[in-house]
């Protein structure tokens, strides 16, 4: 049973607001979702319960959770006070998970979608939370065999946290473009760079780019509306691509595809973390930030889904298209001073080619889907970088 069933959403909201009053600025945590694979076929394998059992009593146990389907495992760094510590833990968690699953005869991958395993063959794990979501969403949740990377950033002050969330809306397409890793799904080359986003974000309710909220009261009024009308029964049923988390006093950025390579996972986390902190500083200093309409942000989101880093995004201020890589370079230049201050700069890079581009290039060269996925799995076996 979720916390709000135990204590009521009124108390949950009060506890959450108080927690945002106390949390230090710029704590950070990273969550990574991994597919569990048959090592011989690289198909999805419904064995999360075996992994969970093997984790009992190990250092990984408190940082391992199930995530909807039995062929998926999620690991958390836990809250870190510095970005450098978080990056070290990203490596530790990957290594710990791999060391746990290999003796069980289970492989791992970390791309936004599995290229061919049918969603019809994936079993939803038997927990109260996922039973409720299964009953609520049915086909929508059955199709969601996707894998992402999430970053939580502590933001002090409830009003400030909501305003940071609102401003982050503007940059979700850029973050997706960098992270795109899923051109294949259901045995099809989709021509999308992020099929994951199309499957998850376009199907789930209360998902994708949220509305702009002015502050905590504005946000709380909407959350109350959802509970009072029976639209949600748990706070996590707001699946937006950026959200204030009601159980942890963090802003959670959820737009990104999972990353096959650890170096790219770290680089992506560095960009998200630095961007979030840079926005908070801009709000503190009265620097103007845009509040673009949803309809304009959706244009850029579609471009990121379809073409990722290889295409163009719209510079909404200048009302013209620019290369996605150029846009990311501009963003890095904007966040660089804060990245330097918070120790994120060593990991802050633009990939020469991201995971989607690498896979698409190999497809165009004539490699099979199996060969391409094998290469991504092997890349993920390197737990340093």
CB-CB contact of 320 with 334 (8 Å): no
The conformation of residue 346, written as its DSSP 8-state character, comes to G
- Please give the pLDDT value at position 1: 36
Q: Rounded to whole angstroms, what are the CA distances from 3 to 107, 156, 247, 252, 319?
A: 33, 22, 8, 18, 45
- Please give the pLDDT value at position 129: 86
- Please give the pLDDT value at position 3: 47
Q: Which helix (H) or strand (E) holds 185?
A: strand 184-185
- Domain edges within the chain: 3-375
**Assigned fold of 3-375:** Creatine Kinase; Chain A, domain 2 (3.30.590)
Tokens representing 367 are 């490699």
The conformation of residue 111, written as its DSSP 8-state character, comes to S
- Walk along the chain (385 residues) in steps of 10 and give the mean pLDDT of each run: 59 94 97 98 98 98 96 98 98 98 98 97 92 90 96 98 98 98 98 97 93 96 94 92 94 98 98 98 96 96 98 97 97 98 96 96 98 96 65
How buried is residue 190: exposed, middle or buried, by Cβ count under 10 Å (0-12/13-18/19+)?
Answer: middle
């Amino acid at each position: 049973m979720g916390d709000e069933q135990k204590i009521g959403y009124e108390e949950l909201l009060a506890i959450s607001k108080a927690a945002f009053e106390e949390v230090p600025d710029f704590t950070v945590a990273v969550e990574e979702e991994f597919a569990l694979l048959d090592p011989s076929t690289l198909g999805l394998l419904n064995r999360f319960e075996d992994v969970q059992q093997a984790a009992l009593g190990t250092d990984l146990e408190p940082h391992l959770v199930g995530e909807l389907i039995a062929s998926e495992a999620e690991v958390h760094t836990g809250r870190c006070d510095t970005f450098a510590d978080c990056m070290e833990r990203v490596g530790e968690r990957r290594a710990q998970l791999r060391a746990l699953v290999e003796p069980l005869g289970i492989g791992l991958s970390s791309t936004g979608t599995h290229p061919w395993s049918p969603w019809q063959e994936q079993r939803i794990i038997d927990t109260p939370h996922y039973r409720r979501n299964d009953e609520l969403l049915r086909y929508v949740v059955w199709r969601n065999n996707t894998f992402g990377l999430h970053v939580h950033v502590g933001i002090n002050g409830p009003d400030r946290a909501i305003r940071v969330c609102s401003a982050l809306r503007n940059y979700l397409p850029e973050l997706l473009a960098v992270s795109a890793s899923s051109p294949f799904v259901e045995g099809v080359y989709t021509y999308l760079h992020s099929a994951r986003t199309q499957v998850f974000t376009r199907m789930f309710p209360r998902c994708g780019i949220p509305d702009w909220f002015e502050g905590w009261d504005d946000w709380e009024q909407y959350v109350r509306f959802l509970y009072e009308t029976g639209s949600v029964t748990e706070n996590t049923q707001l699946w937006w691509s950026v959200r204030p988390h009601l159980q942890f006093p963090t802003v959670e950025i959820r737009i990104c595809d999972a990353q096959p390579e650890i170096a790219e996972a770290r680089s992506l986390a560095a960009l998200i973390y630095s961007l979030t902190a840079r926005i908070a500083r801009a709000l503190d200093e009265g620097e103007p930030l845009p509040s673009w309409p949803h309809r304009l942000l959706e244009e850029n989101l579609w471009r990121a889904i379809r073409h990722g880093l290889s295409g163009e995004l719209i510079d909404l201020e200048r009302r013209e298209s620019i290369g996605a890589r150029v846009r990311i370079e501009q963003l890095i230049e904007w966040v660089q001073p804060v990245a330097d201050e918070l120790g994120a700069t060593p990991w802050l890079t633009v990939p020469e080619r991201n995971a989607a581009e690498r896979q698409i290039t190999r497809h165009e060269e004539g490699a099979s889907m199996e060969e391409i996925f094998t290469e991504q799995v092997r890349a993920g076996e390197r737990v340093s970088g």
